[in-house]
Amino acid sequence: VMHSVLQRLEGMRAFPYLWLVGSFAPIAWGMMDAVAAQLRYGHFQPSMSFTINGANWWLCSMPCLFVFWMTLIQRCHKKSNAKWKEVLVNLAIMLAMSTLFLAFFGVTRAVSALVEDKVLGQVILLVLMAIVTALTFGSQCRRKPVVINPASSEK
């Protein structure tokens, strides 16, 4: 039942924002380990920067990247009779996903390099990504919820 429901919803932003935040919680755990290590040595400014950066990746960047990746998969992935075409499409999608992730990572590094105060740079990135996240998931709040009827999907 679940497989057919997810297959029907593929690329339709079927995953609510809070589900994505929960699934990306290990990012926050990893960043909090880095924050604890910085605080242990008395480095308060890097710990603030790591905290804001972790919140950015956990609450904004990774959920947005996931939605962009799902949209890319939905638009590009079509069943083909030739297996080599499917393999090439899958490789192109993986390359595009990697490029998009590296672009996000590059923007964070560029802003960090351009702004002398690292905490201010992370705050700027967090605000920018919060705007992108609100634009990305705002339509999800206005869309009608998908009704899952297990009886109809088993037929």
Segment 25-49 shows an average pLDDT of 92
What is the predicted pLDDT for the residue at 12?
52
Residue 65 Cα to chain centre, angstroms: 3
Predicted confidence (pLDDT) at residue 94 exceeds the cutoff of 90 = no
What is the predicted pLDDT for the residue at 120?
93
- What total of structural domains would you count in the chain? 1
Q: What angle do CA 14, 17, 18 make, to 5 degrees?
A: 115
Average pLDDT, the chain: 82
154 phi and psi angles, rounded to 5 deg: -80, -20
Q: Could you say which DSSP state residue 15 is in?
A: S
User: Would the pTM count as exceeding 0.75?
Assistant: no
Q: The domain containing residue 145 runs over which residues?
A: 2-153
| CA neighbor of 15 nearest in space, from 91, 94, 68, 55 | 68
